[in-house]
Amino acid sequence: MKYFFIHKDLPEDIRRNLSFFGECVPLPAFEKLPFPVCAHPDMLIASIGGKLLIHGEYREGRSLLSSLGIPFTISQTPVSEKYPEDVRLNCFCFGNYFVSNEKYVSKEALVLAKQFGFRSVFVAQGYAKCSCAVAGDAVATADRGIAKILRREGAEVLLLDPYPIGIEIYDTGFIGGASVLLDEKTLGFFGNVKTLPQFELLENFFGKHGVSLISLGDGPLFDYGGAIGFSI
């Protein structure tokens, strides 16, 4: 069984298309995080080596995972609505890398990454996962700092031009928050990915890695905090 943990307000058309790849499970908001990202999956749960890591104080989220019979590890690192204490779980794995801001990330995330043998790569961007569309061993991002560091580590990275992606309240969202890895060969986007000015470049880049891009909705891309996939 495959689940996708999603933003509770993900539009119905996107949710319907996403459900072809797994069961959609809306996450309740976490009052410790700032609005509107308090319901963004990439702020609520981290997936590291097939293990889910969740904020210890996020009781509704923990109860939801327990009700589904999904095992998880608790992050005890303090969290609040003020940056950088809101980005404790905004980290990600790809290939054999674990990417995060070393100063801000949950200490439990660092422990898990080490246990699973990931090579830690530390970046200045606190919203590391938000900033990156990830599939297999490849990453696409508009964050120059992340791209520079990952390339130095030998990773396959596409640096995109900055482009405004929709998000509630904030000036712009991120491509990572507007995408989700549906399966090993498919990267989905919240909106029409062809609206990106560099769509062909993005398509060719991931195509070299055997990954297809699909649009889960219509109109411009919107950052809903991505989605966390988990199989049991």
Tell me the one-letter amino acid at 3: Y
3-class DSSP state for residue 67? helix
CA torsion sign for 85, 6, 177, 36 is negative
CATH number for the domain that contains residue 47: 3.75.10
In this prediction, residue 232 carries a pLDDT of 87
In order along its 232 residues, the chain shows pLDDT tens digits of 999 999 999 999 999 999 999 999 999 999 999 999 999 999 999 999 999 999 999 999 999 999 999 999 999 999 999 999 999 999 999 999 999 999 999 999 999 999 999 999 999 999 999 999 999 999 999 999 999 999 999 999 999 999 999 999 999 999 999 999 999 999 999 999 999 999 999 999 999 999 999 999 999 999 999 999 999 8
In this prediction, residue 212 carries a pLDDT of 98
What residue numbers bound the domain in which 218 lies?
Answer: 2-231
Vertex 162, ends 161 and 164: CA angle to 5°? 135
- For 128-180, write each residue's pLDDT tens digit: 999 999 999 999 999 999 999 999 999 999 999 999 999 999 999 999 999 99
Contacts of 31 (CB under 8 A, 6+ apart): 38
Query: In this structure, are residues 52 and 65 in contact, taking their beta carbons and an 8 Å threshold?
Result: yes
Phi, psi of 81 (to 5 degrees): -80, -10
Phi, psi of 2 (to 5 degrees): -115, 135
- For 2-12, write each residue's pLDDT tens digit: 999 999 999 99
Query: In this structure, are residues 45 and 92 in contact, taking their beta carbons and an 8 Å threshold?
Result: no
Query: In this structure, are residues 3 and 230 in contact, taking their beta carbons and an 8 Å threshold?
Result: yes
Which residue, 154, 126, 153, 157, is CA-closest to 144?
157
CA-CA distance, 101 to 156, in Å (whole number)? 19
Q: How many domains does the chain have?
A: 1
In this prediction, residue 160 carries a pLDDT of 98
Q: What is the pTM of this model?
A: 0.96
CB atoms inside a 10 Å sphere around CB 150: 22
CB atoms inside a 10 Å sphere around CB 95: 16
